[in-house]
Amino acid sequence: MNESLEAVYRDLHEHPELGMAEHRTAAIIARVMTEAGLEVTTGVGGTGIVAVLRNGIDGHDGPVVGLRADMDGLPILEQTGLDYASRATVRGDDGVEIPVMHACGHDMHVTCLIGAVQQLVACRDEWRGTVVAIFQPAEETLAGAQAMVADGLADRFPRPEILLGQHVAPLPAGVVSLHSGTTLASVDSFDITFTGRGGHGSRPQTTIDPIVAASATVMRLQTVVAREVEPGTLAVVTVGTFHAGTKSNVIPATATIGMNVRTLDADTRAKVVEAIRRIASAEAQASGMEIEPLFTVRESGDATVNDAVATERLRARFVREFETDGESGARSVVDIGAASGSEDVGELATAFGVPLVFWFFGGSDPEAFAAAVAAGRVDADIPSNHSPYFAPVIQPTIDAGVRYLTVAALEWLAPA
């Protein structure tokens, strides 16, 4: 067990920071990367860090490999009960204290990238080339990659031949999954504000109630995937927020719902978003509203697409390095298919103009996962990303994650 990396992980988990506010996290990364002998640039795209490890050939960069980890936490109250659980809070724009938690494993991603860089430094006599370690802020808001690109990421640092990244997931620790092609969904998040006519709760006939229109819209939206998307095509429509009113006997003038849409292909994406707009507009009209619903875009990001050739090349390397058949017949290299989650790592690869390989690795206790499978209770018993109970087991997750990144980098670096 790597005690130093475990200490880093515990510290990062206990002190999460929201996107574009990862100052403490960035300072830790900068210090550790400087101690490892890398060229460290801070403040890239706000709080981003780029650390370059040069081990080239005859004064040249040689093969260049990009490795990426995200850093930010989420506004969630941690309920894991761990002795290193987060108790961090920040004050929101409205003055209200907001809890912060590493509920998506970005603390694990940072820890594993630090460990991989340290491994590559330790074995630098065995390879030649250049490693560009990218520690990205604000993945959760889909703002971090854009900010780093806007700050000249692709022009200021060596251009990699491949961009590699990973994400911890509710799979057994020691299991890694790669999927060629579209591997994560596009995301569209927006608010829909209905404007009616407010009034006294005792005289609803004098009002146009936006809560009724918004509620009807929420229910009708449940038919979009069921009745307008081709069966077997991945699409997710979620209403995550509903804000209206201040008092039970006052009918408000406005009501706002917050939408989140995930799709894998452009045609389905366009169809779903159009259907949402059509339904909201129709419900407003049915309620007699004189003002069209207002759509405000909050987040938008394209699907994450793995390069097929590079993905299969890395899969073959992972199979050679990690695959086990053992007495249990367990497999450690799998393909769980495309997922409905979203990422902005693809924007970095696009900015560099290079192929991407992005994979998932397990962070759940293998015995607990096996028991949950046997009981048919995986969804109930194994906390997933963004759950207040999500916390990868420290080991073997760290060691496995470090090895995945290290082996992946060595696949594209030149042997000494």
E runs forming strands in 137-253: 162-172, 176-177, 181-184, 186-195, 199-200, 235-244, 250-251
**Res 281 pLDDT > 50:** yes
Label the pairing between strands 254-263 and 186-195. Answer: antiparallel
What's the rounded mean pLDDT across residues 30-42? 98
- Indicate the domain borders of the chain: 3-184+303-415, 186-301
Name the β-bridge partners of 334.
177
Amino acid at 319: V
Quickly state the pLDDT bin for 330 (edges 50, 70, 90).
low
**Res 329 pLDDT > 50:** no
How much of the chain exceeds pLDDT 70, in percent?
Answer: 98
Amino acid at 262: R
Q: What pLDDT is attached to residue 331?
A: 77
Instruction: For residue 228, give every residue at least 6 positions away whose Cβ sits within 8 Å of its Cβ, in sequence order, or none.
Output: 271, 272, 275
344 three-state secondary structure:
coil
Quickly state the pLDDT bin for 319 (edges 50, 70, 90).
very high
Q: Which residue has the tokens 């490693």?
A: 131
Q: Is 239 within 8 Å of 218 (Cβ atoms)?
A: yes
Question: Which pLDDT tens digit goes with each residue over 166-194?
Answer: 999 999 999 999 999 999 999 999 999 99
What's the rounded mean pLDDT across residues 237-244? 97
What's the rounded mean pLDDT across residues 311-338? 83
**Closest of 10, 6, 29 to residue 86, by C-alpha:** 10
Distance CA 67, CA 405 (A): 8
- Span 3-184+303-415: which CATH code? 3.40.630.10
Q: What pLDDT is attached to residue 324?
A: 65
- Asked whether the domain spanning 186-301 has the same topology as the one spanning 3-184+303-415, the reply is no
Q: Is 173 within 8 Å of 397 (Cβ atoms)?
A: yes
**Res 44 pLDDT > 80:** yes
How big is the chain by its Cα radius of gyration, in Å? 23
DSSP code for 253: S
Q: What pLDDT is attached to residue 323?
A: 79
E runs forming strands in 274-316: 294-301, 304-306
**Closest of 139, 181, 188, 185 to residue 386, by C-alpha:** 139
DSSP code for 358: E
**Res 327 pLDDT > 60:** no
What's the rounded mean pLDDT across residues 294-305? 96
DSSP code for 160: P
> Mean pLDDT, the chain, as a whole number?
96
Label the pairing between strands 48-55 and 39-44. Answer: antiparallel
Q: Which residue has the tokens 């207002």?
A: 294
**Res 36 pLDDT > 70:** yes
DSSP code for 413: S
Q: Which residue has the tokens 């929101």?
A: 92
Q: What pLDDT is attached to residue 2?
A: 63
Question: Which pLDDT tens digit goes with each residue over 8-23?
Answer: 999 999 999 999 999 9
**Res 73 pLDDT > 70:** yes
What's the rounded mean pLDDT across residues 237-241? 97
Instruction: For residue 242, give every residue at least 6 positions away whose Cβ sits within 8 Å of its Cβ, in sequence order, or none.
Output: 214, 218, 255, 256, 257, 258
> What CATH number matches the domain at 186-301, 3.10.150.10, 2.70.70.10, 3.20.20.450, 3.30.70.360?
3.30.70.360
Residues counted in the chain: 416
**Res 124 pLDDT > 90:** yes
| 361 phi/psi in degrees, rounded to 5 | -135, 150
Question: Which pLDDT tens digit goes with each residue over 358-413?
Answer: 999 999 999 999 999 999 999 999 999 999 999 999 999 999 999 999 999 999 99
Q: Is 416 within 8 Å of 127 (Cβ atoms)?
A: yes
Distance CA 273, CA 261 (A): 8
Question: Which pLDDT tens digit goes with each residue over 255-274?
Answer: 999 999 999 999 999 999 99
**Res 1 pLDDT > 60:** no
